Structure 1
Amino acid sequence: MAEPTPPPSGSVGVGPDAGRGEVTGAAGGVPRRVQRTINFDRGVLERARAAATYLATREPGAGVRSLADIVNLAVAQRVAELEERYNDGKPFRPVYRMPPGRPSRN
Structure 2
Amino acid sequence: MQVHDLLKLYNEINVPPERLLFKIPSTWQAIEASRLLESEGIQTHLTFVYSFAQAAAAAQAGTSVIQIFVGRIRDWHANILVILRLKLLLTEGKILVWLWCLKLIITFTNMATNQS
TM-score, normalised to structure 2, is 0.28
Instruction: Identify which of structures 1 and 2 has the higher relative contact order when contacts are C-alpha pairs closer than 8 Å and 6+ apart.
Output: 1
Q: Which has the higher strand share?
A: 2
Q: Which has the higher helix share?
A: 2
